[in-house]
Amino acid sequence: MNFRYLADHLRSTGEAAARFFKTEQGISKFEVEAPIDKHLGYRPALGAMTRDYHHLCIEVSESPYPRSLDAVVLDIVNRALPVKLFVAFPGGTEPADYKQLVDRARTNGVGVVEIFPDRGEVIHQATPLSLMSVRRIEKGRFPLRYRAALSEAEAVFLSGSPSPGCQLIYQEIENLSRAIAEKTKALRLWRALRPGEKAPRLNLRRGPWAKVLETLQGHLDPQKCSCIERALLNRIAGVTPYRNETGHRARNRVERMKRDKEIRTRFESACDLLLDLVNASKPLRV
Amino acid sequence: MQVSSEMTRLMEISVEQIDRNPENPRLVFRSPELEDLLESIRRYGVQVPISVYKSPKRFVLIDGERRWRCCLKLNKKTIPALVQEKPDPLTNLLLMFNIHALREQWDLLTIALKLPRVIDLLEKKLGKRPNERELAEETGLSRGLFRRCKLLMDLPQRYRDELLKELNKPKPEQLLTEDLFIEMERSLKTVQRSLPSVIDDKDRVRQVLLAKYQQKVIRNITDFRNMAKIARAERVSADTAKASTVLRRLFEPNEYSIESAYRDSVGEAYTERDLLTRIKGLLEQLEDLTPTQLDEDMVELLRELMRRVDGLLRASHHEL
């Protein structure tokens, strides 16, 4: 491999890292110290495009996290580039501040791999940096019972599975909206049936979620239950199509960037919606 | 060495059009130092142009390989460069030496490895082997530095390889340093010159001493200076047979340190010589003193000296 920047004594680590990622992720060809984006002020030691159109970037260093990567990560996040960045460092060379460095890498979404001549050990995986700019959930603003689920959703999202992360939030919205429907019905907060109109026979706990919301929108009496506004119910109805969407595979890099941007927004607005719903339903003691 | 300044131009050139100079003596680019430079260039850009010469379609570095490498890493498109005409091979090398003699110093080993090539090219130019003075003039390096490089040049290949590997580490982590080898080689030379019979195999002795250093039996690289002092026992009228015995013991794989060997052989003799030299110096200075030059402090100290010398002489008289 024709390295021009990488120090001589780290070149064997670079070559071993390429072998490791070939075995682990099926990457057959790496570009050496080539740019991944013309506007980005960084060239990784090794770079390749993954099958799901992420740039796999591998930085080879003596340290598990060279501090110069701070600026690189910030630049990539700001540009929302679909990059998975790993640091490969030589096995058996644990620096004194190893733990702090690995923690810093994890916080910044950078994966760390310890490379031995014949194998590699993943200390932790990389997060697609295009997802890293997602607004973190302010868990303190939610009641205690939601916080574990929110933490899990955030962790799943940042681990590189944004759709399942979103689904965990939608799950909470669904559960709460069903409970609101049941409670308002039980408290007789629904409007009276019109002449000839039949009472809805939908199972509010198990029936299709979209139908439950439709029923709630049609029957909740705003005079009797002013806390749940129609606009809020409309917002919830608007997210039902995404409830079970696992996402289609991106067909190219541009599509990947577009999808990542959309899903970040979706995650953030789902969290906002859940918080609004939680606050609105407080008088109902659901 | 002559380079025409008329032909030098400052230009912004493509980073991708530059090749490293195969003659660059600098082999070691330590990562932490490169990282610092990388951060500086990321923030402030390249403040000092690199120097290159034009080869037919590309450019070859004369000075600024680290800046160029950082620009590559930072995905910079261009870099400011002073572009010169292609120099002849000797000028090419001497340019690099002179640039570094006046600025940041390279690792000595990297200079040492390139010196034979400089000497060969200079020999062709001058029609004779260049002496130390000529080499110093041409390369801009001091004669003392050359002597230190020479000690490294003469090391067996495997030690040079080991040292090169060690030089890639950050400076505080380096155990086998250039200074260690220089101090050790200098001392070994003195021992070989003064007591040739104590070194049966120089390479074996090297290995033993390095192992003792790594095991911290020899604690400091300056201890090697005392090894040379042991070999020069004759100069202080110490027992050379004893000096040979301790050196032989020192050159065996055991826990015997230079410090102990020095104490067991010539330590006292050197202390005595040191004391005699100081007393002679003091006497010379006292001769130059006049009573008017004595202030209170001086008078007090001279009286104290007199008391102590007197006590010492009385005690020695009783013993005799």
* ipTM of the modeled complex: 0.74
The answer to the question of residue A1 being in a domain is: no
- Is the domain of B39 the same as that of B89? yes
> Closest-CA residue in chain B for A7?
B29
The answer to the question of residue A70 being in a domain is: yes
Contact A7 B35 (CB under 8 A): no
Using an 8 Å CB-CB cutoff, list chain A residues near B69: 4-5
- Is the domain of A91 the same as that of A42? yes
The answer to the question of residue B135 being in a domain is: yes
Q: How many CA atoms lie within 13 A of A150 on its CB side?
A: 21
- Is the domain of A278 the same as that of A144? yes
Residue A113 makes CB contacts below 8 A (sequence gap 6+) with: A17, A20, A58, A86, A87, A88, A89, A120, A121, A122, A123
The answer to the question of residue B43 being in a domain is: yes
Question: What pLDDT shows up at residue A242?
Answer: 84
**Which tokens hold the place of A26?**
């099926």
**CA A237, CA A220: separation in Å to the nearest integer?**
14
If one counts the domains in chain B, the total is 2
Fill in the amino acid letter for B253. P
- Is the domain of A69 the same as that of A152? no
- Is the domain of A121 the same as that of A201? no
The answer to the question of residue B249 being in a domain is: yes
Question: What pLDDT shows up at residue A246?
Answer: 67
Question: What pLDDT shows up at residue B1?
Answer: 46
The answer to the question of residue B281 being in a domain is: no
- Is the domain of A261 the same as that of A201? yes
The answer to the question of residue A2 being in a domain is: no
The answer to the question of residue A3 being in a domain is: no
Using an 8 Å CB-CB cutoff, list chain B residues near A12: none
Using an 8 Å CB-CB cutoff, list chain B residues near A5: 34, 69-70, 72-73
Distances (CA, A) of B280 to A251, B28, B100, B298: 92, 50, 45, 19
If one counts the domains in chain A, the total is 2
- Is the domain of B115 the same as that of B233? no
Question: What pLDDT shows up at residue B319?
Answer: 67
- Is the domain of A149 the same as that of A115? no
Question: What pLDDT shows up at residue B291?
Answer: 87
Q: Which of A5, A41, A71 sits opposite B69 (nearest CB)?
A: A5
> Closest-CA residue in chain B for A62?
B31
Domain boundary among B152, B167, B201: B152
- Is the domain of B9 the same as that of B147? yes
The answer to the question of residue A105 being in a domain is: yes
- Is the domain of B24 the same as that of B141? yes
- Is the domain of A112 the same as that of A170? no
Contact A67 B35 (CB under 8 A): yes
The answer to the question of residue A109 being in a domain is: yes
Q: Residue B145: which domain range?
A: 5-152
The answer to the question of residue A197 being in a domain is: yes
**CA B132, CA B143: separation in Å to the nearest integer?**
6
Domain boundary among A132, A156, A179: A132
- Is the domain of B29 the same as that of B130? yes
Q: Residue A190: which domain range?
A: 139-284
- Is the domain of B204 the same as that of B264? yes
**CA A285, CA A98: separation in Å to the nearest integer?**
48
Q: Which of B29, B39, B74 sits opposite A7 (nearest CB)?
A: B29
- Is the domain of B230 the same as that of B139? no
- Is the domain of B102 the same as that of B32? yes
> Closest-CA residue in chain B for A43?
B73
The answer to the question of residue B168 being in a domain is: no
**CA A259, CA A250: separation in Å to the nearest integer?**
7
Question: What pLDDT shows up at residue B32?
Answer: 77
The answer to the question of residue A31 being in a domain is: yes
The answer to the question of residue B54 being in a domain is: yes
- Is the domain of B26 the same as that of B136? yes
- Which residue stretches of chain B have pLDDT < 70? 1-6, 101-105, 319-320
- Is the domain of A221 the same as that of A279? yes
**CA B318, CA B320: separation in Å to the nearest integer?**
5
Contact A68 B27 (CB under 8 A): no
* Long-range contacts of A173-177, Cβ-Cβ distance < 8 Å, separation of 24 or more: A173/A236, A173/A239, A173/A270, A173/A273, A173/A274, A173/A277, A174/A209, A174/A243, A176/A274, A176/A277, A176/A278, A176/A281, A176/A286, A177/A209, A177/A212, A177/A213, A177/A216, A177/A236, A177/A277
A72 three-state secondary structure? helix
- Is the domain of B196 the same as that of B102? no
Task: State which H helix or E strand residue B215 sits in.
Answer: none
- Is the domain of B42 the same as that of B148? yes
pLDDT in tens, chain A (286 residues): 889 889 888 999 999 999 999 999 889 899 999 999 999 999 999 999 998 899 999 999 989 999 889 999 999 999 989 999 999 999 987 778 899 999 999 999 999 999 998 899 999 999 999 998 899 999 999 999 999 999 999 999 988 788 899 999 999 999 999 999 999 999 999 999 999 999 899 999 999 999 999 999 999 999 999 999 999 999 999 998 888 776 667 888 888 888 888 999 999 999 999 999 999 999 999 8
B317 three-state secondary structure? helix
- Is the domain of B245 the same as that of B136? no
- pTM of the entire structure? 0.67
- Is the domain of A83 the same as that of A171? no
Q: Return the bridge partners of B200, or none.
A: none
Q: What is the CATH number of the domain that holds B68?
A: 3.90.1530.10
- Is the domain of A115 the same as that of A153? no
Fill in the amino acid letter for A18. A
- Is the domain of A163 the same as that of A221? yes
Chain B residues contacting A, CB < 8 Å?
20, 27, 29-31, 34-35, 38-39, 42, 69-70, 72-76, 165, 168
- Is the domain of A253 the same as that of A116? no
Using an 8 Å CB-CB cutoff, list chain B residues near A35: 75
Using an 8 Å CB-CB cutoff, list chain A residues near B168: 7-9
Using an 8 Å CB-CB cutoff, list chain B residues near A38: 75
